[in-house]
Amino acid sequence: MKKLLIILLLAVVGYFLTVSMSNIKFGANRMGDLSQPKTVGAFYLSKTPGELSVANVITAIVVNYRGFDTLGEVSVLFLAATGLGSILYKKKKKGEHIPTVNKPSSALLQAGSKLIFPAILVLGAYVFIHGHLTPGGGFQGGAIIATGFLLMMMSYKDFTMNHSVITWVESLAGITFASIGLIGLIVDHSFLENFLPIGYINDLISGGIIPLIYVAVGFKVAAELSGVLDTLLSIKEK
Amino acid sequence: MMEIIKYIGYIAIGIGSIFLFLGALGIYRMPDVYNRLQAGTKATTLGAMSTILGVGLVEPTWFVKSLIIVVFIAVSNPLSSHALARGAYRASLTPFMKKKMDAYESEIQNEKED
């Protein structure tokens, strides 16, 4: 009876999925003529290469056209990290070290994570440095770097994050983001306006302020998420 | 010569797909955590490596990249399955079959005595 119900439910969901999917014409040009854009998407697609010379249009929208929104997102993440830290804050005695894992992990995992950790850091840095060329960006790269730190925390009992370093990195990255926006306000009359030469499309140094902002966002997200993970792992079950 | 390499690549992709399918089947069919881990990580390690290497052979410009990915999978996949199995054992999940010999248990005992 239960199985029958499940099959029936799946059939209903499948039917509506098929109906709604069959209306989408895959591969059809739904943007229309890019030289005379009619939709917002077509407008961005037609303007981005000339105005900003950024290969990844999504990055151009997120960081440049809607850069203020991204600043807000970064501060939401900052607030979340601060809130977690203030709720779970535990005063440590001087020199006291709270281990992140109860039991030591196996020698195999320790050796392997030593091998993988640099590769994860390089991948994360690649993702946020190439945010304007390939899919990815500051948030994704920062999250990848934080997973690398999580791996180290879980495999080494006495791996600690230096919280003052985390705070400094986070603050400096945030200040960089805001001050880039302020320079744009001073030079070009509006907040987060592009004031650097845009270069040529598909070059590493192109797109004006976009790579700078994404590097700052990458560092900020990596520091925040690592701090959050460290705080969460240091709770002890009673 | 290029044609032959291309067909070797297609064969590698085919072998990889078969292994990935068998891994998925194993996860569905096997009775307990350890057997499922075995199916889900051993078979998919070979499957993913073979598929990606095959893609590198079909498209020679991607060969170096695919080789790097293969090395990364070869390092990380067995490692994660080891950590998962160890975690499952430490969480006292019993194997499906009655165990006759358990080398790891005595090792844990030794660890506790140290």
Q: To the nearest whole number, what is the mean pLDDT of chain A?
A: 86
Q: What is the pLDDT of residue B21?
A: 94
Amino acid at the residue A88? L
Minimal C-alpha gap between A110 and chain B (Å): 10
| ipTM given for this complex | 0.76
Sign of CA dihedral A185, A189, A193, A195: negative
Cβ neighbors of A121 (< 8 A, separation 6 or more) are A145, A148
Residue in chain A lying closest to B77 (CA) = A112
Higher-confidence position of B110 and A180: A180
Helix (H) or strand (E) holding B15: helix B2-29
- Give pLDDT tens digits for A7-17: 999 999 999 99
Q: What is the pLDDT of residue B23?
A: 93
Domain boundaries, chain A: 57-233
Inter-chain residue contact A106 with B75, CB threshold 8 Å: no
Q: Is the pLDDT assigned to residue A24 strictly greater than 60?
A: yes
Inter-chain residue contact A115 with B83, CB threshold 8 Å: no
- Give pLDDT tens digits for A151-203: 998 888 778 778 889 889 999 999 999 999 999 899 888 888 888 888 888 88
- Give pLDDT tens digits for A30-64: 777 888 888 888 888 888 888 888 888 888 888 88
The angle subtended at Cα A151 by Cα A149 and Cα A152, nearest 5°, is: 65
Q: What is the pLDDT of residue B99?
A: 66
Least confident of A77-81, A198-202, B33-37: A198-202
Closest CA to B73 of B45, B42, B36: B45
Q: Is the pLDDT assigned to residue B102 strictly greater than 80?
A: no
Cα–Cα distance between A177 and A155 in angstroms, integer? 34
Question: Which range of residues forms the domain containing residue B34?
Answer: 2-113
Cα–Cα distance between A144 and A165 in angstroms, integer? 19
| Segment A97-122 mean pLDDT | 82
Name the band, by pLDDT with cuts 50, 70 and 90, for residue A95.
low
Name the band, by pLDDT with cuts 50, 70 and 90, for residue A236.
low
Q: Is the pLDDT assigned to residue B98 strictly greater than 60?
A: yes
Indicate the number of domains in chain B: 1
Minimal C-alpha gap between A141 and chain B (Å): 18
Cα–Cα distance between B41 and B56 in angstroms, integer? 22
Which residues 75-104 of A are in CB contact (within 8 Å) with B?
Answer: 103
pTM equals: 0.81
Cβ neighbors of A75 (< 8 A, separation 6 or more) are A174
A35 near A46, Cβ under 8 Å?
yes
- Give the other-Cβ count within 10 Å of A185's Cβ: 14
Q: Is the pLDDT assigned to residue A97 strictly greater than 80?
A: no
Asked if A123 reaches chain B (Cβ–Cβ under 8 Å), the answer is no
Structure tokens at A235: 């709770």
Q: Is the pLDDT assigned to residue A237 strictly greater than 60?
A: no
Q: What is the pLDDT of residue A96?
A: 64
- Give pLDDT tens digits for A124-144: 999 999 988 988 888 999 999
Name the band, by pLDDT with cuts 50, 70 and 90, for residue B69.
very high
Q: What is the pLDDT of residue A93?
A: 64
